[in-house]
Chains A and B, each alone.
Chain A
Amino acid sequence: MDFINAILVLLNYTIIPALTYGSQLALGAIFVTLIYGILRFANFATGDMMSFGTMFAVLLTYYFQSLGINLGIFPTALITIPFATFMMILYMLSIDKFVFEYYRIKKSPPVQLAMVSVGVMFVTQAIIRIIIGPADRTFLDGEKFILKASEFKEMTGLNEGLTIKSTQAITIVITMIVVSIMFWFLNKTKTGKSMRAYSDNEDLALLSGIDPKRVVLITWVIAGILATIGGILYGLDKSYRPFVYFNNMLPIFAAAIVGGIGNPFGAFLGGYVIAFAEIFLTYAYKKFFTYILPEALEPNSMMQILSTDYKFAVSFSILVIVLLFRPSGIFKGKTL
């Protein structure tokens, strides 16, 4: 019985939150990796682009709520996904048209493009703050919990309850759907294959008649979908605050590089690696050990490896270690 309780503690406080956070990171990391693989630059505007899409979702959610439209037990934000994604893609394409295209045609070095993306980051951040302001906002409505701790305790008679928030379930389910569609698209369809070919060897791809404009367009469309959905899921689960989204860029980059930059599947797994590492290393295991160890051995300290203040630092340290020993990432990068 104690053993099941211990497992429940872990599930509740580490595994389920890590899966959720990992999914959100994974979507962002695939976005980074796609841009890196096909357009060949590190996009420093990642966090702010995700924030841009989410901003529309937040505004539309408020609008729909004022109209009285809702999805019952599901959050209203889910209806806004197509609209927000559309706005996001529009914004990305216009940025590409006015900013990135020039450097792509000129074949500028990746560093220059990365610098330009810093400029885009500033501008995007300004637009977001001018439209919606820097405040912290929650836009979650509908049913908050799928399974409450008290109900679970009643059902099973265990000491520990299992809580599943609806946002956690929604995040994991939607991520799985989006990611599997995307992998199917990249691996099975002709367009997806042409994108992979373009990423592998641009000149050869051009020779075999692949239209670079089309590839770039589709890349931004996919990127827009991933960025918006990733951003909305994060915002639903925690809250929407532009500054936090900017900061999220860093663990997302860490996930993309740990997974091998340019490799979408690696980025997907990288998201979970980072999330699990962050949460496992900063969780206080005291409760877990009190269940699993005999009473005489019960710990009196928090049994925490690192304080939660260092949550971000964990992912960055992992990244630095990976960069040192396997610069191409755990899952071999640069093969889209």
Chain B
Amino acid sequence: MKQYLNVITAYLIMFTLIILVGIFQSWSLALTILNYCLISAVMTIGANIQWGYAGLINFGIMGYTALGGLAVVLISVAPVGEAWSVGGLNMMICLGVIIGIVFSIRLTLKKIVRSKKRNYLIAAIIIIGILLLRLISAPAIEGIEAVEPAKTGFLGGLGLPVLFSWIAGAFLAGGLAFIVGKVALGLRADYLAIATLLIAEIVVSIIKHEDWLARGVKNVIGLKRPAPYEINLQQSPWFIDLVEKFHSGKLALVNSVSEKQEVLNQLVIDASSVYVKLCFTGLFLTVVIILLIVTQKALYSPWGRMMRAIRDNEEAAGAMGKNVVKQHLLIFILGSAIVGIAGAMMVTNDGLFTPGSYRPMRYTFVIWVMVIVGGTGNNFGAILGGFVVWFLWVEAAPIALFFINLFTAHLPETNEIRVHLINSAPYFRFLVIGTALLVIMRFRPKGILPEKIIKN
């Protein structure tokens, strides 16, 4: 029990903070923060597997998050029949061509010995393949994008329930991680960081600009939800009864019938948004708990010990007969797949897919700050980091505003410095996050909850 004391205290403080937000700001906001904290926690579990368990730097978290989001669109949106009939066949042929290119390259690599001729052959295959792709896809893309461009203009998805997309997101992200891992894992730590960052940028720019796939920067809105809609809740009698019962004390104070009805209506509207968010919280919490149990088990299994051995001394682990390359690839895929789940969860929570919003600042560096602040190599730490940093990220602006008002209280309302500072309050979040990272790196380099190594 004693060894878990710091974990429990840290989490208690965190939840108290969220409850304080609920009391002082609003419960709806507190739940929004909590939901995002849980999503961030899933991302940090993924990043922590790669960095904490195996020492692999993945600055491409943004790319996997975006792919997870794309999975939601591809799985849950109803297919656009017209677009499929216009260009579906050609796009399928393109997919076939891509598979053909990959296999023919593999075949040449296997059958022909390393030589200049082989390199030229591969280059020729790629160039011919790309020309073929452009020839086949160009008319199809034009056709697809012309189908009701204001509303659809893309192929649509499979029309399946949205929860499937979380799994699909994991597979998409894992698939990309397989390719990236094959290509880049041989690189040294800081090169790997840069390479993954740039590959993620390429992925996001493809999602942004291929409108036929997921409408690009035109965004997909109104995605399906695994939770009821507020508007339906507000009209269902059982929900109104529930709210009435819950607030019976408050309602009893109101005398006139019409006023009572008004108050009740307002309460139902508030409660419906809280209820929906609670549904999401339940789903996200389930995912976090499942992942936590699995990763915790994995960490203290022989496999986890092997990963730590590889992390701490690659050569020694290799000399003991462990296949370092294979294990690195495996863990890279696993971690990225978890990040993919988080990406899908986030898009499901928002109900919209906005490729333009995927920026490295928010989706790579902030996540990394979470892992480092929380504690590398410790799952509880990583999750806590997700909570703490996300909380700071959201609450930094109101807190900064409070302090600005406090310190500039003696200045007149129209003082230029005061107005300027109040207008720039949102940017204090960068300052807070950056300082938090620098302070933690300096004075507690292993994070708030450091890695614990159980020896038996």
Chain A: minimal CB distance from B299 (Å):
21
CB–CB B183/A119 < 8 A: no
Q: Is the CB of B190 within 8 A of A99?
A: no
A122 and B433 contact, CB distance less than 8 A: yes
Residue pairs across A and B with CB atoms within 8 Å: the count is 119
User: With A122-B433, A320-B183 given, is the CB distance from A313 to B201 under 8 Å?
Assistant: yes
Are A122 and B431 in contact (CB-based, < 8 A)?
Answer: yes
Select which of A110, A114, A133, A320 is within 8 A of B199 by beta carbon.
A320
Instruction: Say whether A268 faces chain B, with CB atoms less than 8 Å apart.
Output: no
Q: Which of A261-313 contact B (CB under 8 A)?
A: 307, 309-310, 312-313
Do A313 and B206 contact each other (CB < 8 Å), given the known contacts A111-B189, A320-B183?
A: yes
User: Which of B271-279, B283-291, B437-445 lies on the face that meets chain A?
Assistant: B437-445
The answer to whether B431 touches A123 (Cβ under 8 A) is yes
Q: Are A323 and B187 in contact (CB under 8 A)?
A: yes
Residues of B close to A1: CB separation below 8 A:
none
CB nearest neighbor in A for B427: A129
With beta carbons under 8 angstroms apart, the residue of B184, B199, B427 that contacts A130 is B427
| Interchain CA distance A41-B436 in the complex, whole Å | 21
Residue B424 at the chain A interface, CB threshold 8 Å: yes
A121 in contact (CB, < 8 A): yes
| A39 at interface, CB cutoff 8 A | no
Query: Which residues from A are CB-within-8-Å of B195?
Result: 319-320, 323
B187 surroundings in chain A (CB, below 8 A): 323, 327
A250-B201, A307-B209, A313-B201 are known contacts. Are A115 and B441 too (CB-CB below 8 A)?
A: yes
Interface majority SS (helix, strand, loop, mixed), chain B: helix
A319 pairs with B198, CB closer than 8 A: yes
For the complex, is A232 an interface residue (Cβ under 8 Å from B)? Answer: no
Cα–Cα, bound, A133→B420 (Å): 9
Contact status A309-B209, CB under 8 Å = yes
Q: Assign chain B's interface to a size class.
A: 35 or more
Contacts of A124 in B (CB 8 A): 434
Q: Tell me the residues in window 359-388 of chain B with beta carbons closer than 8 Å to chain A beta carbons.
A: 361, 365, 368-369, 372
The contact size tier of chain A is 35 or more
Interfacial chain A residues near B184, Cβ < 8 Å: 320, 323-324
Chain B residues within an 8 Å CB radius of A125: 361, 427, 430, 434
A313 touches B190 (CB 8 A): no
**B215 is an interface residue with CB less than 8 A from chain A:** no
Known contacts A126-B430, A310-B209, A312-B205; A116 and B191 CB within 8 A of each other:
no
Q: Does B435 sit at the interface, judged by CB under 8 A? A: yes
Q: Counting CB contacts under 8 A, is A257 at the interface? A: yes
Tell me if B341 is interfacial: C-beta within 8 Å of chain A: no
Kindly identify, within residues 194 to 243 of chain A, every residue whose CB is under 8 Å from any CB belonging to chain B: none
Cβ of B158 to closest chain A Cβ, rounded Å: 27
The answer to whether B190 and A42 have CB atoms under 8 Å apart is: yes
Contact B434 A126 (CB under 8 A): yes
Q: What 0/1 readout, one digit per residue, does chain A (313-327) give for beta carbons within 8 Å of chain B?
A: 100110110011001
Bound-complex Cα distance A121 to B433 (A): 10
Q: Does A64 belong to the interface (CB within 8 Å)?
A: no
**From residue A266, how far is it (CB to closest CB) to chain B in Å?**
15
In the bound complex, how far is the Cα of B435 from the Cα of A130, in angstroms? 15
CA distance A75 to B361 in the complex (A): 33
Cβ 8 A contact of B424, one of A42, A130, A307, A320: A130
* Complex contact A119–B197 (CB within 8 A): no
Q: Which of B191, B372, B424, B445 contacts A327 (CB 8 A)?
A: B191
Q: Is the CB of B190 within 8 A of A122?
A: no
Indicate if B11 sits at the interface (CB-CB under 8 A). no
* Interfacial residues of chain B within 210-265, with CB under 8 A of chain A in the complex: none
Q: A42-B193, A323-B187 are in contact. Are A120 and B208 (CB under 8 A)?
A: no
Complex contact B434–A323 (CB within 8 A) = no
Is A152's beta carbon under 8 Å from chain B?
A: no
Q: Which residue of B lies closest to A42 (CB)?
A: B190
Contact (A110, B190) CB under 8 Å given A102-B442, A129-B427, A320-B184: yes
A42 / chain B contacts, CB cutoff of 8 Å: 190, 193-194
Q: When chains A and B are docked, how far (Å) is the Cα of A320 from the Cα of B365?
A: 21
B119's nearest neighbour on chain A, judged by CB, is A325
Q: List A residues 125-160 near B (Cβ within 8 Å).
A: 125-127, 129-130, 133-134
Whether A19 sits at the interface, judged by CB under 8 Å, is no
B-side contacts of A127, CB under 8 Å: 431
Smallest CB gap from A113: residue in B:
B190
For this complex, 8 residue pairs linking A to B, each with C-beta atoms less than 8 Å apart, are: A116-B438, A121-B434, A125-B430, A127-B431, A133-B424, A309-B208, A313-B202, A317-B202
- CB-based closest 4 A-B pairs: A122-B434, A126-B431, A126-B430, A123-B434
Q: Which residues of A are in contact with B by a Cβ distance under 8 Å?
A: 41-42, 44, 99, 102, 109-112, 114-116, 118-127, 129-130, 133-134, 246, 250, 253-254, 257, 307, 309-310, 312-313, 316-317, 319-320, 323-324, 327
> In the complex, given contacts A116-B441, A310-B205, A327-B187, what are 7 additional A-B residue pairs having Cβ atoms less than 8 angstroms apart?
A114-B193, A122-B434, A122-B435, A126-B427, A130-B424, A130-B428, A307-B209
